A = this chain, B = another copy of it.
Amino acid sequence: MFRKLLLLAVLSLSTIAAKAQNDIAIGKMYKLNSKQLNEDREIQIYLPKSYTDTTITPQQYPVIYLLDGESNFNYLTAYVEKLSKYPYPSIPEMIVVGIVNTNRTRDLTPSTRKEENMTEAQKSKIKGESGGNANFFSFIEKELMPYINENYRTMGYNVLIGHSFGGITALNNLLNYTDMFHAYIVHDPSIWWDGQYMLKQYELNPTKDFKNRKLFVTQVDESQNKGGQKEHYSSIQEYNQYMTKTKLKNLSYKYVQYEGEDHGSIPLKGNLDGLRYIFEGFGINFKQIKENPKLVEENYKSFSQKMHFEFKPNEAYLNYIIDYYKKMDEQDTVKYFEQYRDKLHQK
């Protein structure tokens, strides 16, 4: 009896009660059966806010394919949402497709490891299959991408993001499967893998035409160049030296080192900067639109030229501008943007 009273007393301490509860959901998980890989694969899908906006004509979006989805989907989708937010988007709204691992070392390595290229520490740590990049790319190219393109409104511009083994996988894709993606973000890649297999592949192709792709590479700082990390660290340094000194044909390349980050944390800051690097020039100074309404059209034109891909302003973004100038009672600006919107997005 006393305990029951005590319990009641404790429960009534709070003068506030929760009224309702809903899940805060950021995307959906799908299971796809891959014939190429002969297994079920989990795929995470994030759709941008305007995707389901029924007041606008259906828009098309770039797609980010994200390796190691289970480790990166949550913050990466939040970045895309935050950086693409009106009135000051620095990147476009995008669909994010996270690929969850089943057998990571098998899928995310470009070559079957050769015993002579492994240290004793690597031999004990890395076991099982490797060298499955080709099959993994078949899965993406023949199954995942068609599935995404048929079931979602994609505009055809694709980005690949990879970290560590996922990083060399992305570098392999850029070099040998160049048509699949338009831009790559690569974090602290395992260039050491299999006697620097990927670096050697790049060195064998100095005249490669990269077809206007973009590549952003990150690395941890010098303080991480110690112990078992030495080979990992110096291999990326060698790769960057090769990429910097070689006249790479039609490749925009940027390398950034991050002070205070380690191998695990580097994608957090790196993806933020990588996304902004890839879409550099996308942002428009919203406050200058009033003086020069053509700024939006002009900027999309120059941005598209720079990207070698046609981007056009989302109807929801144009409506945001229209609403803003309606409130300011700037009728001419409103009329201009309504005409521009209707020209781009015919109902």
CA distance A27 to B154 in the complex (A): 29
Q: Are B77's CB and A74's CB within 8 A?
A: yes
Interface size class of A (residues with CB under 8 A): 35 or more
Q: Which of A305-333 contact B (CB under 8 A)?
A: none
The answer to the question of A173 belonging to the interface, with a C-beta cut-off of 8 Å to chain B, is no
**At the interface, yes or no: A303 with Cβ under 8 Å from chain B?**
no
- Is B23 touching A30 in the complex (CB atoms < 8 A)? no
Interface string of A69-105 (1 = CB under 8 A from B): 0010111011101110100101000000000000000
Judge whether A29 and B33 touch: CB under 8 Å.
Answer: no
A11 to B151, CA, bound (A): 9
Cβ 8 A contact of A78, one of B15, B74, B150 = B74
Top-8 shortest CB links A-B: A75-B78, A74-B78, A23-B25, A19-B31, A16-B143, A18-B30, A24-B27, A14-B146
**Which residue in B13, B19, B142 is a CB contact (below 8 Å) of A150?**
B13
Check: A247 CB closer than 8 A to any chain B CB. Answer: no
What's the Cα separation between A18 and B41 when bound, in Å?
10
* This protein's copies in its complex: 2
Query: Is A20 part of the binding interface, using a Cβ–Cβ cutoff of 8 Å?
Result: yes
Given A24-B27, A24-B73, A268-B82: A33 and B19 interface contact (C-beta under 8 Å): yes
Residues in B with CB closer than 8 Å to A18 are 30-32, 43, 147, 151
A17 contacts B by Cβ under 8 Å:
yes
Do residues A13 and B146 form an inter-chain contact, with CB atoms below 8 A? yes
9 A-B pairs within 8 Å (CB atoms) are namely A11-B150, A15-B35, A15-B146, A16-B32, A17-B33, A19-B31, A22-B28, A24-B26, A26-B26
Q: Is A272 an interface residue (CB 8 A)?
A: yes
Write the nearest CB–CB distance from A210 to chain B, whole angstroms.
Answer: 26
Q: Which positions 6-62 of chain A face chain B at CB distance < 8 Å?
A: 10-11, 13-35, 40, 43-44
